[in-house]
Amino acid sequence: MIQLNEEQKKLVQQWVKEGSTLSEIQKKITEEFKIHVTFMDVRFLILDLNLKIKENEKTPAKAVDLSKSAPAAAAELEKPEETGVAGAVSVELDRVVKAGAIVSGSVTFSDGVKASWSLDQLGRLGLSSGKQNYRPSEEDLQAFQQELARLIQNRGF
């Protein structure tokens, strides 16, 4: 955990207000405070200070096609997001991230089936509903992708 004094915390709050990303804040802490911190340390610091990273309104949210392999899905991130409404699909982020993941959470699809999901450091998305051979509809997958991209972007990823 990062130990900052009150003056340093105020500077971090100012950087967040100015619209700095987590990566930019990490770099500033290293350069200005001479404290080496990891990206995750900065994420936790922002959460501990009850701050929210501003969403970059100039960059549209990205959608990932879950039916593609990891490299193809990563390439899909380069394309602009298609517009759509999440509808009856509900996506939530875990407050405590699952081991081996950079972000995780749960999703409830329009048919009422709940599933857990996680995204690892390589950009691989895991989805587990506990139901054997369960596959959500194409519309639900698309809504899930869009909502997940929005939530992750709001968290500063």
Predicted confidence at residue 77, as pLDDT, reads 43
Q: With contact defined as beta carbons under 8 Å apart, do 149 and 79 qualify?
A: no
What tokens were used for 11? 């500077």
Structure pTM? 0.44
59's CB contacts (< 8 A; 6+ apart) are: 153
Question: How far is the C-alpha of 6 from the C-alpha of 132, rounded, in Å?
Answer: 52
Q: Does position 81 have pLDDT exceeding 50, yes or no?
A: no
% the chain with pLDDT above 90: 11
Instruction: Tell me the residue type at 127.
Output: L
What tokens were used for 148? 């997940």
One domain, residues 74 and 149: yes
Residue 64 lies in a domain: no
**Residue that wins the pLDDT comparison between 93 and 157:** 93
Residue 30 lies in a domain: yes
Q: Which domain holds residue 17?
A: 6-48
The model's confidence at residue 58, banded by pLDDT at 50, 70 and 90, is: very low
What tokens were used for 100? 């081996």
Residue 54 lies in a domain: no
